Chains A and B, each alone.
Chain A
Amino acid sequence: MIKIDAVGDVCPIPVVKTKNAIKELKGSGTVETLVDNEIAVQNLTKMANQKGYKVKSKKISDELYSVIMTVGEEQTEKEEQAPAAAESGGSIAVISSGFMGSGDDTLGAMLMKSFIFALTQQESLPEAVLFYNGGAKLTCEGSASLEDISYLAEHGVEILTCGTCLKHYGLSEKLKIGGVTNMYEIVERMSRAARIIKP
């Protein structure tokens, strides 16, 4: 176990010292950091949680706290899983509007409904369908495509709707199918996908 005395150090120095000590561990072991305030404990705990280290802290006195981090097997497991997930690129459908194409919106709405229906008829279904902006309305109460989208969900297609968009249209409580997503996940899913299908 490495002991770090960071009493009297202001943030971020306790974190910097602890990070350096963890590097010295070369993979596994324990680091105990002594600090003199609770905020430093919180910042150290935040780092440990983000890095997947086991962390315990205790208050020794009003001006002395101990934070113990254990770096070990759990963390290596987490690192190994990451690349596997990155390779799973199936196809993804992206619905960015309630209408298919631009011109006449009445026609566009009909085309979109039939696009989603046609999607259910494909031999190989997409891995996920992402709904955003006007597309977000399609997964909500009142949408003409709910039945088709339910079919997709029942057949293992992940249905994800942009939370920002739901909020914007006041539809957060009206979402009927699937989960809520955000820009980070949308970009990640799109860049991981082997193919993107967009009406």
Chain B
Amino acid sequence: MSDIVFCKGGGCTAKLGAGVLSKVLEKLPRGEYDANLMVGYDSRDDAAVYKITEDIAVVQTLDFFPPMVEDPYTFGKIAAANALSDIYAMGADVITALNIVCFPEKMDMNILGRIMQGGAEKVIEAGGILAGGHSINDSDVKYGLSVNGIVSPKRILANNTAKQGDVLILTKKLGVGIVCTASRAGEASQDAMDEAVASMTALNKYASEICRKYNVNACTDVTGFGLMGHLHEMLSGRLSAHIISGSVPVIRRALDYADEFLLTAAAQRNRNFTEQYIEFNNIPFAVEEILFDPQTSGGLLISIGADEGEGLAEELRSAGMPASIIGEITAKDKNEIYVS
């Protein structure tokens, strides 16, 4: 297989910068207001929720990107886990999924088979049906899913409904962007890469299901904009947050790679966009970088009342996730995000 064409540095590091994107989105015409659209593009969420009846709403989302690992089967699993994640961030269940495929006709079709096998396995694990798809002959490989889910309208988790006094929980380790980048530069250890792959292929299904037992106020999945970018969206100009950087789960080796400056362009774009909202209180350089690191198939960022926070974090940990409380939501302050 032609490795060079297959993996050029993909995953969520390939996302357009939030700054560039919001300029375009602001100018889009809005159609007529529809009260049944419960979550849409103006609420900064990356999925739409449409109410069908009082008990059922459909959740629609899609995600696709270029490969971030050399193995096609692993890439398929990661791309699918990432696309399915938006459904889980909403607190919904997966129903159907369709493949989105861009693939060079001249490339070995077995590679495409392996990618789609990885994707299909994840859809099955999610409890959904892979019902078809669409493919395009393209110069580069890209793969992902369009996913439908359902949820009770009363139980939807939006990303911008956090409350003052909440604690924040992150369910996966940060650093997969830096580790994949280091790997491409030939400088990542096998252990670090294995840890990153295991994290990226893990579904957020289990975290999402545990969340339903608690009164979660807001939830999002941490992906291309990094922890700081997605937290900024969660605060939505209404609230501030205080993050205790030492309690954020990270892949340890990613800190070493950050100290070796194996940095992505996407992390720097994230920094350029979000840094103005953040006050860092003398944080080591590598830790700052990790907080901007774009995550592919990252964990859920959960905002929940302080009284239930530790209980939820403990249950997530007992289910095998590296979850921990990473900070708290406060009233709006001079700066939006304080990191100490």
Contact = CB atoms under 8 A, between A and B. Distances in A.
Partners in one complex: yes
A19 B261 contact: yes
A16 B340 CA distance: 30
Nearest to A165: B340
A12 B263 contact: yes
Contacts of A13: 185
Contacts of B285: 46, 50
Nearest to B269: A39
B180 to A, nearest CB: 11
B268 A42 contact: yes
A10 B264 CA distance: 8
A167 B328 CA distance: 10
A163 B340 contact: yes
Interface in A11-43: 11-13, 15-16, 19, 37, 39-40, 42-43
Given A43-B261, A43-B263, A47-B261, A11 B181 contact: yes
A180 interface: yes
Contacts of A185: 282
A11 B265 contact: yes
Given A168-B242, A168-B328, A12 B281 contact: no
Contacts of B272: 39, 42
Which of B244, B268, B272 gathers the greatest number of chain A CB atoms within 10 Å?
B268
A40 B61 CA distance: 32
B253 interface: no
B246 A183 contact: yes
Interface in B274-318: 281-285
SS class of chain A's interface: helix, strand, loop or mixed?
Answer: helix
B231 to A, nearest CB: 16
Contact of A12 (B246, B264, B282, B328): B264
Interface string B242-269: 1011100000000000001111110011
B244 A11 contact: no
A46 B285 CA distance: 9
A46 B259 CA distance: 11
B330 interface: yes
Given A39-B268, A43-B268, A182-B282, A12 B262 contact: yes
Given A16-B185, A39-B269, A183-B244, A167 B340 contact: yes
A40 B265 contact: yes
B262 A164 contact: no
A167 B338 contact: yes
A15 B262 contact: yes
Nearest to B279: A163
B20 to A, nearest CB: 12
Contacts, number: 71
B322 interface: no
Contacts of A182: 281-283, 340
A82 to B, nearest CB: 14
A10 B265 contact: yes
B261 A46 contact: yes
Interface in A69-125: none
A16 B264 CA distance: 12
Contacts of A167: 242, 330, 338, 340
A15 B262 CA distance: 7
A11 B258 CA distance: 12
A197 to B, nearest CB: 24
A15 B340 contact: no
B8 interface: yes
Given A11-B268, A39-B269, A164-B340, A46 B242 contact: no
Interface string A151-169: 0000000000011100110
Nearest to A45: B268
Nearest to B338: A167
A24 to B, nearest CB: 17
Contacts of A37: 265
B9 interface: yes
A63 to B, nearest CB: 15
Interface of B: 8-9, 181-182, 185, 187, 242, 244-246, 260-265, 268-269, 272, 281-285, 328, 330, 338, 340
User: Which 8 A-B pairs give the minimum distances between C-beta atoms?
Assistant: A11-B265, A47-B261, A39-B265, A164-B340, A12-B262, A182-B340, A15-B261, A183-B246
22 contacts: A12-B261, A12-B263, A12-B264, A19-B261, A39-B265, A39-B268, A39-B272, A42-B268, A42-B272, A43-B265, A43-B268, A163-B340, A164-B242, A164-B244, A180-B281, A181-B282, A182-B281, A182-B340, A183-B244, A183-B245, A184-B246, A185-B282
